[in-house]
A and B are shown apart, each in its own frame.
Chain A
Amino acid sequence: MTIIAEHGYLLLSLACVFGFFMAWGIGANDVANAMGTSVGSRALTVKQAILIAMLFEFLGAYLAGGEVTATIRKGIIDTASIGDKPELLVFGMLAALLAAGTWLLIASIKGWPVSTTHTIVGAIVGFAAVGISVDAVHWPKVGKIVASWVVSPVLAGVMSYALFKSVQTLILNHNDPFTRAKRFIPVYMFAVGFLMSMVTLLKGLKHVFKDQGVSMSFGECALYAAGAGLIVTLIGNYFLSRIKEDPNIDPNDRFANVERVFAVLMIFTACSMAFAHGSNDVANAVGPLAAIVGIVKSGTIAAKTAMPSWILLLGGAGIILGLATYGFKVMATIGQKITVLTPSRGFAAELGAAATVVLASATGLPVSTTHTLVGAVLGVGFARGIAAINLRVVGTIFMSWLVTLPAGAGLSIVFFFILKGIFAT
């Protein structure tokens, strides 16, 4: 108790710096994974992608990031078991942030495909199990999270498979795919708008509504979300109406014009991807910070305290700064490399992944956006839509989280004891 009274604000500032740095790293590196498909398929320029990412990552983090942040903050650790020593949780969360930052830096230098989500969860489980006690870890919840890491790529794969198959039957496998594309693409746009606003209304704005005494039933939410979907469709229709069939665009490719229509759709799926990424990944950076803020302010581990919204804002700001300072370069490089995904495939993969991640966000499950996207790409591949997929690389990616968990845990244990040694003596 005295440690917190004495060093509370130092610890809090440290947590803010580390959390902000993590968010910066996510913006600099991770967002490019989510948005690279749009840039690579030429649906968006790098500049447009950055602007979309800035806006929707922020919106995602602020409007729908609360649930996952809560999981990271208090879902993984059974706080009841450490009630009398709140400073341990502060050290631990700081250690977890440091460990995740360090591990991600190492992985970036080595070029390993690791995920921020897996690292931070591993780090939190690590310090709690070793630094506090094995019982301090809320194992059923951890089991659920790990299961979601298996389920999310599979679910995304199934969704993007279905999406691509539907595109095939509705649009591509027809005499005049251009007209068919113009007719059916608004339906997908509606789905994007509906999905995003539904999650926002159900989960994200819950705290806002509660404050103002507004309560909405599921049906009302669906109604408003449908309205939002319609607005999105109208905006999309305006963009679509500006696409005219141009017979001279590429005589060797009969589908060049159809892909131009899909490119419009991809702007919308890119927005949803950024929103989904913001809603899930920002929690990795600010979840530990939120836990520390709660303890420092109240002096105890109060599981019921509401999370101040400035924490989500800080995370969103960190991501934006990361995008502005470094993400630009990463995005440009990646965009040049992912060129094999045409908009008709890229959209299916993005929408499948975004829907999965947003669903995970709404249930408070931290998942890896990149892994989900890889699962979605595989789904399109199974629908015979992609020329070649490197299965060996897919294997490496899905194995990488097995390495990441002990690495994140080990690092956070080391940092935990160092911090404890510095402050608690």
Chain B
Amino acid sequence: MAIINPLYKVLGRSPIKPMQQHMGEVVTCVKFLEGFFKASNSGDWQLASTVYDQICASERAADELKKQIRLHLPKSLFMPMPRTDLLDLVTTQDRIANGARDIAGLMLGRNMTIPESLQDCGMAFLKTAIAATEQAFVAINELDELLETGFGDREVSFIATLIEALDELEHENDQLEQDLRKKLFAQEASLPPVDVMFLYKIIDTVGEMADNAERVGARLQLLLAR
């Protein structure tokens, strides 16, 4: 006798755990960048290449998770949050990992080393971007508690404080970005022009990573407000 249990078929697969796993993978991916910058700063391109491979592997893993989430979110699913918000959220999360891969790929491909005078400032700038991503993960990790309370006010306002902290980190990242640009501008005449061009590009992309982390928070806020 086959087992008929309509009940377990009614209960669909929760997208929350996969969303959290995806964000976890994004954080792993972004964190590799720190090691990558260290390697490139010291000109160790062999190590940089190994780290780059790790970044790519992690980015691919995140991509796969993203695909699985999309595949398992059919329109017929009835969820406490809008499906489109979840899909936007996972896309935004994924962009952070894509940014990390682009940065490492560009730097490795051109064997770019950040000028020594900018290295400390650059590292600080990267670290706030990583911190913003981690903070976004903290907020995403509250999704299951949010569901547990049935979107209770208390949990919603708790997540709001987490998102505020995320905004704060992004703001800090913006400030550091401005400083870094100013410093680069001051010495750009003495550097090879093509290098300068790409340095601006790297700064842009790191800043974008933090922006996307903030956008994850914004999406989450949209998801809460219904």
Residues of A at under 8 Å CB distance from B?
28-29, 32-33, 36-37, 40, 105, 107-114, 164-165, 168, 172-175, 252-255, 326, 330, 333-334, 337-338, 340-342, 344, 370, 373-374, 377-378, 381, 383-394, 396-397
Q: Are A387 and B3 in contact (CB under 8 A)?
A: no
**Nearest chain A residue, comparing its CB with the CB of B1:** A108
27 A-B pairs within 8 Å (CB atoms) are namely A32-B3, A37-B7, A40-B8, A107-B4, A108-B2, A111-B4, A112-B4, A113-B4, A114-B4, A168-B150, A172-B149, A172-B152, A253-B144, A330-B3, A340-B14, A370-B6, A377-B11, A385-B147, A386-B11, A386-B80, A386-B147, A387-B147, A388-B14, A388-B78, A389-B77, A390-B78, A391-B78
Chain B residues with Cβ below 8 Å from A164 are 150
Expressed in whole angstroms, the Cα–Cα distance for A51 and B4 within the complex equals: 22
Residues of B at under 8 Å CB distance from A?
1-16, 74, 76-80, 141, 144-145, 147-155
Query: With A172-B149, A334-B8 as given contacts, are A29 and B144 in contact (CB-CB < 8 Å)?
Result: no
Chain A residues with Cβ below 8 Å from B4 are 29, 107-108, 111-114
Chain B residues with Cβ below 8 Å from A32 are 3, 5
Q: Are A172 and B148 in contact (CB under 8 A)?
A: yes
A381's contact among B3, B74, B80, B151, by CB below 8 Å, is which?
B80
Query: With A29-B1, A172-B152, A254-B145 as given contacts, are A388 and B79 in contact (CB-CB < 8 Å)?
Result: yes
Chain A residues with Cβ below 8 Å from B16 are 387
Chain B residues with Cβ below 8 Å from A340 are 11, 13-14
Chain A residues with Cβ below 8 Å from B148 are 172, 253, 255, 342, 344
Expressed in whole angstroms, the Cα–Cα distance for A386 and B15 within the complex equals: 11
Q: How far is the CB of B69 from chain A (nearest CB, A)?
A: 12
Q: Are A334 and B5 in contact (CB under 8 A)?
A: yes
Expressed in whole angstroms, the Cα–Cα distance for A255 and B150 within the complex equals: 12
Chain B residues with Cβ below 8 Å from A36 are 5, 7-8
Expressed in whole angstroms, the Cα–Cα distance for A36 and B8 within the complex equals: 9
**Nearest chain A residue, comparing its CB with the CB of B83:** A388
Chain A residues with Cβ below 8 Å from B153 are 173
Q: Are A388 and B8 in contact (CB under 8 A)?
A: no
Query: With A172-B152, A173-B149 as given contacts, are A387 and B12 in contact (CB-CB < 8 Å)?
Result: yes
Chain B residues with Cβ below 8 Å from A114 are 4
Q: Are B11 and A333 in contact (CB under 8 A)?
A: no
Chain A residues with Cβ below 8 Å from B7 are 33, 36-37, 334, 338, 370, 373-374, 377
Expressed in whole angstroms, the Cα–Cα distance for A335 and B79 within the complex equals: 22
Chain B residues with Cβ below 8 Å from A108 are 1-4
Expressed in whole angstroms, the Cα–Cα distance for A373 and B155 within the complex equals: 28
Beyond A40-B8, A111-B4, A338-B5: 16 further Cβ-contacts under 8 Å?
A29-B1, A168-B149, A172-B149, A174-B154, A175-B154, A254-B145, A255-B148, A333-B3, A334-B5, A338-B7, A374-B7, A386-B147, A387-B14, A387-B15, A390-B11, A391-B76
Q: How far is the CB of B156 from chain A (nearest CB, A)?
A: 10
Expressed in whole angstroms, the Cα–Cα distance for A165 and B74 within the complex equals: 27
